[in-house]
Structure 1
């Protein structure tokens, strides 16, 4: 199977520790990181993805906001720099240990976090990156 992710969720998954918008959101995210840990590949998509799914039935989900599309574009550019390939809708990626380490190193150094500006979870992610990603649920595949 394939996990469908919008580009900025490539960054969010690095610091996911089981906190989120709702219990349903967290249960869904737990399943996604378990699939990624087992080695399922990622398909980059435009708009709402597998992470967004539980929020789509709420009133006015932020998944459709222009600011999220900007965040996706910024994250895609950062991921492209890290991977040396153009990350855009249709791009496929498997998170092997080396790639996950490269993403986390850049995140901790702040070099891939332009998409995180203004995010409500930014301070939590700062703390998690500062702790060496302790407690994160995405493990090396």
Structure 2
């Protein structure tokens, strides 16, 4: 199987520590973190993805807003530039330990965060990066995976 992700979620997954919009959103994201940590492939898609799924249909969902699509495009460009290959809709990616480390190092340096402008989670993500990503639940090659209670 593959995990279907929109562009900006390539940045969000770097700092996911189990917080989210709703309990169902968080439970879903925890399952995705487990799958990513186990090395499951990512397929880049346009629009709402596997992480967005629990939010679709809720009045507070922003998944289809144009500014979110712009965020996706900025994130994909930054990640592609860092990793040294093209990324777009339909691209496949596996986050091995070296890619995850490179992404987190760049995120901590603030060199791939242009897509994070105006994101309500930005302060939390900054704190997690400053703390060395302690508690982040996506860990490529991890021997233990996050729990889904």
**What is the TM-score when the length of structure 1 is the normalising length?**
0.98
- Indicate yes or no: 2:98 matched with 1:103: no
SS at match of 1:62: coil
CA offsets, 1:2-35, max 9 Å, x none? 0000010000000000001000000000000100
Alignment-derived partner of residue 50 in structure 2: 50
Contact 2:39-2:140 at 8 Å conserved across structures: no
* 1:61 CA displacement: 1.9
Alignment-derived partner of residue 146 in structure 2: none
More helix by share: 1
Task: List alignment gaps of at least 5 residues for structure 2.
Answer: 142-149
Alignment-derived partner of residue 3 in structure 2: 3
Distance 2:117 2:86 in 1: 22
- Give the length in aligned residue pairs: 141
- Indicate yes or no: 2:51 matched with 1:84: no
* 1:139 CA displacement: 1.1
* 1:59 CA displacement: 2.0
* 1:66 CA displacement: 0.6
Distance 1:121 1:61 in 2: 15
Correspondence 1:1-141 to 2 at 5 A: 1-59=1-59, 61-141=61-141
CA RMSD for the aligned pairs? 0.7
CA offsets, 1:36-65, max 9 Å, x none? 111100000000000000000212520000
SS at match of 1:63: coil
SS at match of 2:7: coil
